[in-house]
Amino acid sequence: MLNRDKTILIVDDSKLNIQVLSDILKEKSYRISLARSGRMALEFVNMKKPDLILLDIMMPEIDGFEVCSRLKADPETKNIPIIFISGLDKSKDIVKGLKAGAVDYIVKPFQKEVVLARVNTHLKLSETQRKLEKTNNELKELLKEVEYLSFHDEMTGLYNRRYFENELKRLASSRRLPITLMVADLDKLKLINDNYGHKMGDQYIKGAAEVLKESSRNEDIVARIGGDEFAIILPETGFEAADKIYQRLKFNLKKYNQQQELVVELRLSLGFAVKTKNEQNLDQIFKKADKIMYNNKRKKKYYE
């Protein structure tokens, strides 16, 4: 930390106090800014944020307590360390200042070693606090990213199999019925990979994910559970509502094929099953939906 990179604002209506403090601080190459009143101090801080403020208590118009309270109430200035300037016999003022948010105080007459020690200490503490906050924010973002990656498929952005299975376990004992499970399988992915390459195959997987997501509701859980396999949990959804989503999915699939220039049409085999009773097992409902999907796939003439 270079002292010349740190700006200290001295707020005092006494020319003598300002001169003495400025001379002390300039010895250590701090950048000095001056304000002769509380109003001027607030105007300065509004334009430029100093690294530390030396604030006199007794000033005309707006006293030091009010200045401190206003700065601490503003999210943009609340972390600027404020050191009050006080007389030796102003212990009540010192306590009041600390309660207002000041980090320390310096008494008059000023002792150079005390002024420099306290200024240096609180600048270092402030710098350390900023670094810790930055590190904490970076860690929070990293944890969010790790959590996202642990429950999402990297290629499509959909939920992954782990999250899907966790949700099945969570909903296994739910009494908020019905629950529909829908299964979708991308047709002819092997043919596309073999003839046009895996990058092309990846585009088809992403296209399938886009159609499935577009066709679902906000409360639905859309997951990629395998290479070319997808599943959707439709909470509190019966057969009729599920069939509407099923039909919407087929319509959106047709629209997608019309809008895209594809080497082969994007096709999905679909199936769904509904849990309507508490005693029914969600794993069995999933197997039933998967079997229906597989039977639909077998019926297609182009199935391989």
Q: Is the pLDDT of residue 302 over 50?
A: no
pLDDT (tens digit per residue) in 204-246: 999 999 999 999 999 999 999 999 999 999 999 999 999 999 9
CA pair distance 169, 153, nearest whole angstrom: 19
Q: What is the pLDDT of residue 88?
A: 56
Neighbours of 83 (CB within 10 A): 21
Q: Token pair for residue 26?
A: 């300039």
pLDDT (tens digit per residue) in 58-90: 888 899 999 999 999 999 999 999 999 887 556
CA pair distance 44, 70, nearest whole angstrom: 13
The mean pLDDT of 118-136, rounded to a whole number, is: 94
Q: What is the pLDDT of residue 136?
A: 94
Q: What is the pLDDT of residue 125?
A: 94
**HEC profile for 16-33?**
HHHHHHHHHHHCCCCEEE
Show the domains of the chain with their CATH numbers.
3-142 (3.40.50.2300), 161-299 (3.30.70.270)
Q: How confident is the model at residue 91 (pLDDT cuts 50, 70, 90)?
A: confident
The percent of residues above 70 in pLDDT, for the chain, comes to 96
What one-letter code names the amino acid at 89? Answer: D
C-alpha distance across the termini of the chain, in Å = 68
What one-letter code names the amino acid at 218? Answer: N
Q: How confident is the model at residue 304 (pLDDT cuts 50, 70, 90)?
A: very low
Q: How confident is the model at residue 1 (pLDDT cuts 50, 70, 90)?
A: low
Of the candidates 231, 250, 234, which has an alpha carbon nearest to the alpha carbon of residue 185? 231
Q: Token pair for residue 135?
A: 């590190």
Q: Are 268 and 214 in contact (CB under 8 A)?
A: no
Q: How confident is the model at residue 303 (pLDDT cuts 50, 70, 90)?
A: very low
The least confident of 1-10, 93-102, 121-130, 251-260 is 1-10
Strand order in the sheet with 221-224: 221-224, 229-234, 179-186, 268-275
Q: What is the pLDDT of residue 244?
A: 96
The mean pLDDT of 88-97, rounded to a whole number, is: 74
Q: Is the pLDDT of residue 111 over 80?
A: yes
